[in-house]
Chains A and B, each alone.
Chain A
Amino acid sequence: NAGVTQTPKFQVLKTGQSMTLQCAQDMNHEYMSWYRQDPGMGLRLIHYSVGAGITDQGEVPNGYNVSRSTTEDFPLRLLSAAPSQTSVYFCASSRTDSFYGYTFGSGTRLTVV
């Protein structure tokens, strides 16, 4: 009964490095999304997917890429890390759309130095 699994839990990157944040869900949810959470700014949507092979941009997509080759996995790639990307990142999934509520992972705390 894993739900949404995110790895790693913590990561420190140097400016300019790239990395992939992993997200996997075992609930056969069609909808998956990535948010970042910053103090005073709430949860902001980065990218989302309504099913395998379909992705779209949220409100803060710059500097991030996603792909959805399977229903289960939705990785988030940072192309060239910048200090402004220091944040806590959450992956979430839901059955079809937002109407049914999201299941969130436990987050990845990323620091870019």
Chain B
Amino acid sequence: TQLLEQSPQFLSIQEGENLTVYCNSSSVFSSLQWYRQEPGEGPVLLVTVVTGGEVKKLKRLTFQFGDARKDSSLHITAAQPGDTGLYLCAGGFRGSRLTFGEGTQLTVNP
């Protein structure tokens, strides 16, 4: 059973464009995390959100946790080629393991 659905699965855009990636679930999570993975490397944690409605910013990346803590979005402003990678969302419960979405493969073309 896939608890976390990410969309889109693939996204190819031009440098300077904006984009949004979505992560949806029917489950309520204690926390939701976003990771970025580059080829040949392990995922790297970008952000953790824990409060419904929470918004966090990391330079040009904006992360939002849904009010009901079932969904999240990642918005990138003015994307750059260095943003290229696999973006993974992961939901967690206190005292338990993370469940990962299948990921969104982002390609930013110069």
- Give the interface of A toward B (CB within 8 A): 4, 33, 35, 40-43, 45, 48, 58, 90, 92, 97-107
Q: Which residues of A have CB within 8 Å of B100?
A: 35, 42-43
Knowing A42-B100, A42-B103 are in contact, say whether A101-B45 is a contact too (CB < 8 A). Answer: yes
Who on chain A is nearest to B41 by CB?
Answer: A106
A107–B41 CB distance below 8 A: yes
Q: How far is the CB of B8 from chain A (nearest CB, A)?
A: 14
**Interface status of B48 (Cβ within 8 A of chain A):** yes
Who on chain B is nearest to A96 by CB?
Answer: B95
A104 to B31: give the CA distance in the assembly, Å: 18
A104–B102 CB distance below 8 A: no
A33 to B30: give the CA distance in the assembly, Å: 19
Q: How far is the CB of B76 from chain A (nearest CB, A)?
A: 20
Knowing A42-B102, A99-B31 are in contact, say whether A106-B94 is a contact too (CB < 8 A). Answer: no
Q: How far is the CB of A47 from chain B (nearest CB, A)?
A: 11
11 contacts between A and B (CB under 8 A): A92-B42, A97-B94, A97-B95, A98-B90, A98-B97, A98-B98, A100-B48, A101-B48, A104-B42, A104-B44, A106-B40
B92–A107 CB distance below 8 A: no
B45–A99 CB distance below 8 A: no
B41–A33 CB distance below 8 A: no
